[in-house]
Amino acid sequence: MYKKLIIEAGKKMLHSGLTVETWGNISIRDPKTNLVYLTPSALDYDILNEDDIVVMKLDRTLVEGARKPTIETDLHLGIYAARPEINAVVHTHPIYSQVFAVLRESIPPIIDEAAQIMGGSVQTAEYALPGSMELAESCIAALGKDANACLLANHGAVCIGADMDFAFKVSAVLEMTAQIYYMARAIGKPVVIDDRLVAAMHDFAFNSYGQGK
């Protein structure tokens, strides 16, 4: 089940414009076993099969797979270790989010969707080389205890969630917010939603909005 989910997620990331070619990477953690399923390094998302998916323990012990895992394995495993409520990590390379990653700026909650899904500003992690432990540590620090998205300086974005659907929702809202912020700054000065109202919307989205809440 989890291998199939990773394959489907890779195609979704590629064809929704959240990355290009083989860049970016995805993982999911099985909350029952703590096993982590990761995309392989530098393989075409359109032709991945279940044998290509790498399965690891949180201590990096290989459980299944003959492929080399994503170079950002330490980033994925580190997030799961630091945030036990998280079960999916999507590392994307979207255009507008990367604009602000290159500027090394945060993206504030300028639209309701961003306030509801991401809460406060999305921070940019300090620059470190791709695949390095320093990058993993920088990303984890930028996410902190409760953020579900951050930018990687000059690199891309990382979005997380309790499941893959939510991680992708965060990815989509982050990129939409980045695009609107870019366009608004081109013609004027964007107005950021008041912190009190952001907190109220974020709480509503997680505790009241939708069916069964």
From residue 119, alpha-carbon distances to 110, 124, 205 in Å are 10, 15, 10
Q: Please report which confidence band the pLDDT of residue 203 belongs to, taking 50, 70 and 90 as the band edges.
A: confident
The pLDDT of residue 205 is above 90? no
Q: Please report which confidence band the pLDDT of residue 210 belongs to, taking 50, 70 and 90 as the band edges.
A: low
Among 8, 21, 50, 72, the active-site one is: 72
Dig out the tokens for 142 from the structure.
């930028």
Mean pLDDT, range 78-82, rounded to an integer: 98
Catalytic residue status for 72: yes
pLDDT at site 22? 86
Phi-psi region of 177 (alpha: psi -120 to 50; beta: other; left: phi over 0): alpha
Mean pLDDT, range 70-93, rounded to an integer: 97
| Helix segments in the chain, DSSP class H | 2-15, 73-82, 95-103, 112-118, 133-143, 164-187, 195-207
Q: Which residues contact 194 (CB under 8 A, 6 or more apart)?
A: none
The pLDDT of residue 212 is above 70? no
Higher pLDDT, 168 or 20: 168
DSSP state of 52: G
Q: What is the pLDDT of residues 33-74, one digit of tens each?
A: 999 999 999 899 999 999 999 999 999 999 998 999 999 999
pLDDT at site 32? 95
Q: What is the pLDDT of residues 108-140, one digit of tens each?
A: 999 999 999 998 999 999 999 999 999 999 999
Say what percent of the chain tops pLDDT 70: 97
CA-CA-CA-CA torsion for 145, 3, 10, 168, nearest 10 degrees? -40
Report the candidate in 72, 74, 71, 70 with the shortest Cα–Cα distance to residue 58: 74
pLDDT at site 213? 62
Q: Could you give the CA distance from residue 111 to residue 88 in angstroms, rounded to a whole number? A: 24
What domains appear along the chain, each with residue ranges and CATH number?
A: 2-207 (3.40.225.10)
Mean pLDDT, range 148-157, rounded to an integer: 97
pLDDT at site 206? 76
pTM: 0.94
Q: Is 109 helix (H, G, I), strand (E, B) or coil?
A: coil
pLDDT at site 149? 98
Q: Is 89 helix (H, G, I), strand (E, B) or coil?
A: strand
Q: How many residues does the chain have?
A: 213
Q: Please report which confidence band the pLDDT of residue 197 belongs to, taking 50, 70 and 90 as the band edges.
A: very high
Neighbouring CB atoms inside 10 A of 43's CB total 16
Q: Could you give the CA distance from residue 195 to residue 193 in angstroms, rounded to a whole number? A: 6
Q: Could you give the CA distance from residue 65 to residue 53 in angstroms, rounded to a whole number? A: 6
Q: What is the mean pLDDT of the chain?
A: 94
